[in-house]
Amino acid sequence: MLIQRILMSQEVSEKIKCKHGLDPIVAKEVLESYSASYIEKVGGGSYMAVGLSCAGYVTVFFGYEAGTAEIKTAYQSSNWQIDLYKRKRG
């Protein structure tokens, strides 16, 4: 997977900030360093990325098509997601 462009709507940005208490820039940071993140397909055209950022472990759900990732939501990773990241990324 080669992410060339990252999109996030204003509504998603507000949701990440207000509902999950996370700076939307952190979600982009996880996808920008996707080579250091763990990414897996979760159904349809949706993917889950777990990565380590300046805000700790963050989980990002996004759609991917033709080099473009569109963020759907992002939040602080749960314990099982952190364990998954550590197992897969070492």
The span from the CA of 20 to the CA of 1, in Å, is: 27
pLDDT computed for residue 45 by the predictor: 84
Task: For the chain, list the domains and their CATH numbers.
Answer: 5-89 (3.10.450.530)
- Tokens (6 digits) for 81: 């997601």
The span from the CA of 70 to the CA of 65, in Å, is: 9
The answer for residues whose C-beta is within 8 angstroms of residue 74's C-beta and 6 or more apart is: 16, 20, 22, 24, 26, 27, 30, 58, 59, 60, 61
Q: What pTM was computed for the model?
A: 0.91
**Burial classification of residue 55, based on how many CB atoms lie within 10 Å of its CB (0-12 exposed, 13-18 middle, 19 or more buried):** middle
pLDDT in tens, 18-47: 999 999 999 999 998 867 889 999 988 899
- Tokens (6 digits) for 26: 């952190």
